[in-house]
Structure 1
Amino acid sequence: MSLRLLIPLLAGVALAGSAHAQQLGKLKGVVELFTSQGCASCPPADAALQRLIAQGDVVALAYHVDYWNYLGWNDTMASKENTDRQYSYARTLGRSSVYTPQAVLNGRDHLNGADLGAINVKLDDLSRAGQGLVVPVSAAMKGDELEIDIAAGQGKANVVVAYFDRQQRVDVTKGDNVGQQIAYMHSVSDVETVGMWEGKPMHLTLPANVMEKAGRKGLAVLLQSSTPAGDPAAIIGATAMTLGADD
């Protein structure tokens, strides 16, 4: 894959063969939506996630969970790993259970994923409280490699890359959403930790085989702390890139 141009996502128009990265300093938070194609209350949250992506100032990711598959429709994008991530957040947030649609904000709080207004208000509140994206993170394509730069800051955090599909349309033929064709955006297919940041400026280069995981899709870079038990916690920096032309 040859990706020659780096164009800010906020510039608007997507061009074939280009990489689009969200601009440094323009992001107010990270929203991770836990959703399912078999969840009757999830389509409004999936639509809200699309609007968050269109805003251009949020890293918005969808994690399809598998625990609603028993209702009669196997979510085509669900994985045990996504379900495990949601349960990990439940432990971090002191919860005994999980639900859909759940939006986890900056790894620090959660809301109903369909309530777009409340999500934006909470992200603003977190930023004012110093719990936003306080460490600048940037990513750029250099040939077929991805270069990540992280500024100095306080504390330690994992450098996490989440690979996602830009958009998929699914015809649901069974279960609670039977008969609907639903557009899903930024559905996460894989998450991996690629480094450890310890408060100093950091530069990482990911080789071509890592980029092949993204294909013509996209990825987010999350600077995320963890609990003593190893569960995901506060996200203190992030950026996202989409690859290739819009569908």
Structure 2
Amino acid sequence: MTPRRSLRLAVCALALASNALAGIVLADEANRSQTDKSLVGQPLGVVELFTSQGCSSCLPADAFFAELAAKENIVALAYHVDYWDYLGWKDTLSRKENTERQYEYMRAFGSRSVYTPQAVINGRSHVNGARREEVDGALARMKTSGEGMQVGIKVSRTSDRVIIDAGDAGSGPSDAHVVIVYFDPPQTIKIGKGENTGRSMTYWNAVSGIQTAGMWHGKAHRYELPMSVIAKKGGCAVLLQSVGKDGMPGPILGAALIHKP
């Protein structure tokens, strides 16, 4: 082996090592970016859709909701209710707790009845969930009027836990619940009876559980969840939601999505 060849090999080895190191760094940055992509930042707003597989009017709303769920700046949650099951098809994703949450909103809004498809925007108002111009209009209007997301929520992960940092409200609101809303991964369901017999629909972010993780009192505070809980779900949303003296849900002040790792 000649000295010139040895030098050439050494340069090549150094280049390969540098490339490998760069690859590791880039991969690490990509992983970190992927981890934090939808976890940090101020979303445009929260859309909670109350829907049912047995309701023919819900199909357009479910299709529009799929578009919302794909947007990184929207926290979109679908609550399948059970009161249309008598029409002949039991909604496979419905939960009694979802129906109860809708009735709580009904009382909070001073309404006389519930309906589907109902989209509740930022916990502040409701519109027909199939009318995209009303949903988009409400989100835009609330952002400019100060009724959007007012408190930053940052989510980070370790190997065994999820860390939720709720920001400081300054001179803004001072009390809210930290609500964790778990949802399932996308599921395609073929409906066998009722108004939508024979239809197949892919349902996104169907809510499977709700829990209150703690209280927030206007100052920056940290909360933790075990990673094992989220790993069993499709993901979850963190909602910083004010609650009235009567216990009814109020405006959502901050929110973030946590996707399954």
Q: Same fold (TM over 0.5)?
A: yes
- Map of 1:31-70 to 2, 5 A cutoff? 31-70=47-86
Cα deviation, residue 96, structure 1: 1.1
2:174 matched residue in structure 1: 155
Residue matched to 2:153: 137
- Given that 1:150 and 1:201 are in contact with CA atoms closer than 8 Å, whether structure 2 keeps it comes out as yes
Choose the corresponding residue for 2:249, options 214, 232, 236.
232
In the alignment, residue 62 of structure 2 is paired with which amino acid?
Answer: D
1:173 corresponds to which letter in structure 2? G
Higher helix share: 2
Identity %: 45
Deviations 1:25-53 (A, max 9, x none): 3x110000000000010011011111112
* Matched position secondary structure for 1:176: helix
Say which SS state the counterpart of residue 85 (structure 1) adopts.
Answer: helix
AA in 1 matched with 2:96: K
Show structure 1 runs of 5+ residues with no match: 9-17
Deviates more, 1:117-126 or 1:75-84: 117-126
Distance 1:126 1:184, change over 3 A: same
Q: What one-letter code is carried by the residue in structure 1 that aligns with 2:122?
A: N
Q: How many residues align?
A: 229
Asked if 1:105 corresponds to 2:121, the answer is yes
Question: 1:87-142 CA deviation, whole Å, 9 max, x = no partner?
Answer: 00001111010000000000000000011122111111111111110100111221
> Among 240, 250, 256, which residue is 1:223 paired with?
240
Give unmatched runs, 5+ long, in structure 2: 1-29
Partner of 2:91: 75
Residue pair 2:148, 2:253 contacting (<8 A) in 1 also: yes
- In 2, are the aligned partners of 1:21 and 1:140 still within 8 Å (CA)? no
Distance across 2 between alignment mates of 1:190 and 1:98: 20
> Partner of 2:162 in structure 1?
146
Alignment partners' CA distance in 1, 2:32 and 2:102: 32
1:212 to partner: Cα distance: 4.3
Residues 183 and 46 from structure 1, CA distance in 2 versus in 1: closer, same or farther, beyond 3 angstroms? same
State the alpha-carbon separation in 1 of the partners of residues 33 and 184 from structure 2: 19
CA apart distance, 1:231: 1.2
Pairwise CA RMSD: 1.6
**Given that residues 144 and 211 in structure 1 are in contact (C-alpha distance below 8 angstroms), is that contact kept between their aligned partners in structure 2?**
no
Matched AA of 1:54: A
| Residues 1:187 and 2:201 are matched in the alignment | no
CA distance in 1, matches of 2:75, 2:231: 21
**Correspondence for 2:105:** 89
TM-score by length of 1: 0.88
Tell me: CA distance 1:108–1:96, structure 2 relative to 1, closer, same or farther (3 Å): same
Runs of 4+ in 1 over 6 A off after TM superposition: none
> Structure 1 residues 116, 198: closer, same or farther in 2, change over 3 A?
same
Find the structure with the greater CA-based Rg: 2
Counterpart-to-counterpart distance in 2, 1:122 and 1:202? 29
AA aligned opposite 1:81: E
In the TM superposition, residue 6 of structure 1 has moved relative to its aligned partner by 4.9
Structure 1 contact 163–213 (Cα < 8 Å) conserved: no
Query: Within 5 Å, which residues of 2 pair with 1:174-213?
Result: 174-213=193-232
Report SS of the residue matched to 2:133.
helix
